[in-house]
Structure 1
Amino acid sequence: MVRDRLKTALLAIAAFGLVAGLLLWTAGLGDMATLVWSAGVIPVLAALVVEIIRSLARREVGLDIVAALSMSAALVFGETLAAAVVALMYSGGTFLESFAQGRAQREMSALLSRVSRTATLHRDGQLTQVPLDDIVPGDLLLIRQGEVAPVDGTVASGNAMMDQSALTGESLPVRLSQGATVMSGATNAGEAFDLRATHRAADSTYAGIVRLVRAAQNSRAPMARLADRYSLLFLGVTVALATAAWWFTGDPIRAVAVLVVATPCPLILAVPVALVAGLSRAARFGVLIKGAKPLEAMARISTLIVDKTGTLTDGRPRIVSIHATGGMPEDQVLYFAAALDQLSQHPVAQAVVAAARAQGAALPVPADVVETPGEGVTGTVDGRAVVVGGTGFVAARSGGAPWDMAAQEPGAVLVAVAVDGRPAGWLVMADSLRAGIGDLLTGLRHQGIARIVLATGDRHAVAMSVTQGLPLDAVHADLTPDQKVLLVLSERKNGPVMMVGDGVNDAPALAAADVGVAMGARGAAASAEAADVVLLVDRLDRLPPGLAVARGARHIALESVIAGIGLSVMGMIAAAFGYLTPVQGALLQEVIDVAVILNALRALAIDTGQPAETV
């Protein structure tokens, strides 16, 4: 904040000095104009010298030295108007860069102030306002209409209508039923509801996103460091050309003109503006990139390694097919199974219940329910004895097992159902591929991904069966976490590697990859911490727009640098041959710098082919 105010003050001083001097000069007061121009330049030059000294103390040589040389030389040789233009150019460029970065980070910075620091807690039959840090898992909170969920939790009463656009980019609110997970940072777009806290505020999704945003805002990109390394070369070329112009013509003004055209170089302005703008643009698509370095690395990715469960697949069992026997309709088989499974917390049971409710089934409350963990459930539904579970469990209680003859696909699970002591049918459950995953992978190839590899800890037969028909170059199954790391390292021979995963077992491989991408919505905290990029919504289709933004931002940065340096060099040569005066050269460089910054800001509107609000 202080640095921004200083930049604003220096810009105001430089602008006032230049304008006031011009007014005095047009009034015929040339000596007074010279003094005023000098007075406007000296504070900017002093601040610049302090910044150069700090950079040298960090062993960094920047192109700010050229700006200092040009202002100093212009003052020494009496070109005070040129010095004033350079001072305005430099202070204006740094101010515009700061403004551009602030504009680019607005979407991410908005996260920091969304959630109130207090919450409404149900306590002893009353509603009490408590600080967020006092909330512990198990607390019951009231979330009123328009309020933001302060911590992660589950819907404890009725249904909730949540606007998750700030986190995921989805424009439409999502209806969540009782027991569904609510992410902190989402806004209640419906009626008030009770939220059962599952995490402390410091451990919630929102707090993790804020930490990632802060890390992203403090990062530097490899291209920016590349600019620092080449700044010494450009500085040498500039000084050599200025010296040569003075040496061969005997006119020091030629040297001054060369120096003012060369400063400040677009190299130090375009790269950070374009990449930070890219970070902001990616965030609009629910792709949180932890800094400029991974953004630049994403633009060069040629190999993609993906996990299976939770990445290519939903990571949740779904009903693939229903088989009825004994004359009972398929929908009745699902009805009895789902009604009984309502009282089980097993993931397969919850998937069965969700499938029945999706079909509009009104499920009664079962009675006399007894669950044998890991095996099955028995109970009474509508006065009829029902058994649901594994084939062996149900067969032992039904006197028949037609499902024993059922063909089972690799990786599929059979859920047997018996009613009144007789086999009623079975459900085939499997972790199915995400919708449209084949087209998505094909689209990634069109974006420059030359090699796509599957890496999973699941059995080989399951991996081959699930991924059949997908455009994969290789399938590696039965992998341990350390073997996934070795796979990432071995694939580097084909180019920079991106790894996508969501589980704790993926965290080492995510850290080893050039770019690690975590499925952040439901993925493990360890994978989100190890990753360079977090997809804030549990959908892999956020990856293509993220890649498009990364490649676009890098292209815009390089485009700005090449065009800016090219124009600067042409101007330097023209100045060395006497075609540009110092004032004309300063004005020309002013135009070049403003142009490259405005061009870099195009990264805020990179076209990914998909509107951000509907991705």
Structure 2
Amino acid sequence: MSKSQISCESEACNCHGSGCSHEHTERELKINLIRLVTAGFFVTLAVLTEYRIIPLTELEIPAALISLALTAYPILKEAALGLIKGAWNVCELAALALVAAVLIGEFTAAAEIAFILTIGEMVEDYLYARTQKDIHSLMLHVPTTANIIRNEEIIEIAVDDIKIGDRILIRPGERIPVDGEIQKGHSDVDESFRTGESLPIQKNPGDTVYSGSINLDGILVITAIKPANQSSYAKVVELVQKAGMRRPPSHPMIDTFAHYYTPLILVIAFGTAFVTNDIVRGITVLIVACPCALLLATPSAVLAAIGPAAKQGILIKSGSFLEMCKKITTIVFDKTGTLTSGEMNVTTIIPENGSTQEEVLIIASSAERSSPHPIARAILKEAKRTGIVLSGVGTGRHFPGKGAEDTWNGAPVLVGNRDFFKKNSIPVLESAKQDNIQKNMYETEVLVAKNGEYIGKILISDTLHTDTKKALASLRHLGYSQYAIITGDNKKAAQAIADELEIPESMTYSGLLPSDKEKFVADLQEKGERVCFVGDGTNDGPALIRADIGVGMGSRANTLALESSGVILMEQGLSSLPTFLKLGKKTSQTIKENISLALLLNCMLIGLAAGGLITPVIGAIGHQFATIIVLVNSIRLSYTFSGY
């Protein structure tokens, strides 16, 4: 989708859910604005002459007809298309009110109806375009070329032609084209497109840099670790493009309401005209009854929330996730990379059965070399640090939540946890069963075997993320009090994290496979819990999809979370999780306010119209007054979000 294209499913009466649709480009929006201003001039002239403020009564009808010619056609066209399809929804109701006003000679009222309905559409288009601008700000300046170092020469190639292993020169001020690892150089890097955080991050050799980030002050040489179409920026762009093509739905109750509303209003309008013997009253009922404000209650609030959230690094795929926030009863966290930093390091290598530390590390790194898991990356980082060079590409099999198997120098090797070894009937030495050798309470053990014989283990440490405690304190302040930790790690490491975060042992589950995590979430849901699952995308896909809200940590190098999550937090750590949940609660509150205001004002106007207390012109003004109140209330949400 190009930056200039704005696709929408809106109605001529600015009502969602009624079956009317338009396509608006920037050029068309400008033309529509000129058309609206011109129509506004003539309808104002018609109103002023009707009330004798301008004593040129002969201008009233011509001015009203000119305004109608500029604004009524889209409404009548969409209503006609709806009737052809057998629809009797609010667009048809608005068109009927407009035609009826013309038939009884209320040309000024008809012109005002069409004009104010068009204003409503333009206001909604502005709100939608504003959201699109916020979201597409993430997509600006997509790099298209890169400087590659080949044979010690610098050549410029298309970003799409970059291959894994290519060395790329990044000068100060340039945007990083693909995910890579720094080989040479030191620099501050701006990763705000991913995290919403404007402060630069110091990057050094060995650190990972992400596509879309800006190199600020140093020259970097990086090695590409992903092709362009699989890099972080490409994933975000893809997600944004999909999100940008969707309009938020209206509330389920309102969808049902709209189906029966038009026939009901027709009965009331004709009944009013029959009982009072005054057709003007019946038509006034039609004019005020179009429930545009009610149908905009949900989509306007959702649009007002999604755009600002995207600017702060919170990508929300659907408005339904915002509405679900107020219903969440349990928040379930994956441990590694979610509560902890995920930047794991090898702390100890313990050889057994005559093996050496080097042999244990070589076998483990060989088996894990193609795995994206943080434990695998820690082993590979240690192998690289000690000078171990792995040739070729790993061809071993990976078993999520368990380990990996491969062949090394013709011998079968196995790397994984105790359950994995038990399943493969590999006995573990008694000395390896003693956990007191683990010095760090966050240490995880990885067992290593060759030719079906246990040869040692590797201890890997992780640390609690710096903002985890603060985030949980904020969540408790928001009223979320029930938490669970689920992990494929060992019980001791899981419990250490739970103790520090004051999460009870009864809600801490270790040694779980991806299918077990999904089942855990499903079991909670069967008990009536509404679950928000927060994971990093590694082995968490099934649970993220199963949860009522799946929140993925998109800042990790592994971008699987972008595929399986309903909400992605691009900022490192959990600091933006309370922000998202608070925004969701506020959005639900705004929707409730919108619905209440719309229902109250609509019922009041219908009563006044049926009682003959307002004219068609005043009815049209009152109808759109209700719509504008709802839109303003929603727009207010987007501005208050900056204070979160």
- Give the TM-score of the pair, scaled to structure 1: 0.79
Check 1:221–1:99 CA distance in 2 against 1; reply closer, same or farther (3 A cut). Answer: closer
Say yes or no: does 1:102 pair with 2:129: yes
- Work out which of the residue numbers 547, 572, 582 in structure 2 matches 1:548: 582
Q: Is residue 260–residue 585 contact of structure 1 (8 Å, CA) maintained in 2?
A: yes
Check 1:582–1:24 CA distance in 2 against 1; reply closer, same or farther (3 A cut). Answer: closer
- Give the TM-score of the pair, scaled to structure 2: 0.75
Q: How does 1:153-552 map to 2 (within 5 A)?
A: 153-221=180-248, 223-317=250-344, 408=439, 412=443, 430-472=461-503, 474-492=507-525, 493-522=527-556, 524-552=558-586
Q: Tell me the amino acid that sits aligned with residue 474 of structure 2.
A: G
- Work out which of the residue numbers 135, 138, 146 in structure 2 matches 1:111: 138
CA distance in 2, matches of 1:229, 1:413: 53
Query: Equivalent residue of 1:540, what SS?
Result: coil
Q: Is residue 107–residue 284 contact of structure 1 (8 Å, CA) maintained in 2?
A: yes
CA distance in 2, matches of 1:200, 1:320: 32
Q: Tell me the amino acid that sits aligned with residue 77 of structure 2.
A: V
Check 1:523–1:201 CA distance in 2 against 1; reply closer, same or farther (3 A cut). Answer: closer
- Work out which of the residue numbers 602, 610, 615 in structure 2 matches 1:568: 602
**Offset at 1:544?**
0.4
List per-residue Cα deviations over 1:416-468 (Å, max 9, x = no partner).
xxxxxxxxxxx996322223534422432332334212111122333223311
CA distance in 2, matches of 1:524, 1:56: 50
Check 1:428–1:201 CA distance in 2 against 1; reply closer, same or farther (3 A cut). Answer: closer
Q: Is residue 147–residue 155 contact of structure 2 (8 Å, CA) maintained in 1?
A: yes
Corresponding position of 2:355: none
Say yes or no: does 1:14 pair with 2:14: no
In structure 1, runs of 5+ residues without a counterpart are 322-344, 355-364, 374-402, 416-426, 611-615
Q: Is residue 344–residue 460 contact of structure 2 (8 Å, CA) maintained in 1?
A: yes
Q: Is residue 245–residue 254 contact of structure 1 (8 Å, CA) maintained in 2?
A: yes
CA distance in 1, matches of 2:523, 2:142: 44
Q: Is residue 239–residue 562 contact of structure 2 (8 Å, CA) maintained in 1?
A: no
Check 1:13–1:58 CA distance in 2 against 1; reply closer, same or farther (3 A cut). Answer: farther
Corresponding position of 1:63: 90
CA distance in 1, matches of 2:123, 2:129: 10
Say yes or no: does 1:139 pair with 2:166: yes
List per-residue Cα deviations over 1:166-224 (Å, max 9, x = no partner).
22111211110012111111122213333322222211111111111122223344544
Query: Equivalent residue of 1:120, what SS?
Result: strand
List per-residue Cα deviations over 1:237-292 (Å, max 9, x = no partner).
43333223212211111122222222352122232221012111222332111122
**Offset at 1:98?**
0.4
Q: Is residue 502–residue 523 contact of structure 1 (8 Å, CA) maintained in 2?
A: no
**Offset at 1:119?**
2.5
Corresponding position of 2:116: 89
CA distance in 2, matches of 1:237, 1:271: 22
Check 1:371–1:133 CA distance in 2 against 1; reply closer, same or farther (3 A cut). Answer: closer
List per-residue Cα deviations over 1:45-82 (Å, max 9, x = no partner).
33123323555677875422232122111111111111
Q: Tell me the amino acid that sits aligned with residue 297 of structure 2.
A: A
Check 1:63–1:404 CA distance in 2 against 1; reply closer, same or farther (3 A cut). Answer: closer
CA distance in 2, matches of 1:606, 1:58: 42
Query: Equivalent residue of 2:292, what SS?
Result: coil
CA distance in 2, matches of 1:528, 1:347: 20
More displaced stretch, 446-455 vs 546-555: 446-455
Query: Equivalent residue of 1:589, what SS?
Result: helix
Query: Equivalent residue of 2:560, what SS?
Result: helix
Q: Tell me the amino acid that sits aligned with residue 72 of structure 1.
A: V
CA distance in 2, matches of 1:73, 1:479: 66
List per-residue Cα deviations over 1:527-578 (Å, max 9, x = no partner).
3201111111221121000111111122112212211221121122112111
In structure 2, runs of 5+ residues without a counterpart are 6-22, 349-368, 370-375, 392-433, 447-457
Q: Is residue 248–residue 303 contact of structure 2 (8 Å, CA) maintained in 1?
A: no
Q: Tell me the amino acid that sits aligned with residue 3 of structure 1.
A: H
Query: Equivalent residue of 1:162, what SS?
Result: strand
Q: How does 1:2-81 map to 2 (within 5 A)?
A: 2-3=23-24, 5=28, 7-8=32-33, 11-12=36-37, 14-22=39-47, 30-42=57-69, 44-54=71-81, 62-81=89-108
- State the identity %: 30
Check 1:514–1:161 CA distance in 2 against 1; reply closer, same or farther (3 A cut). Answer: same
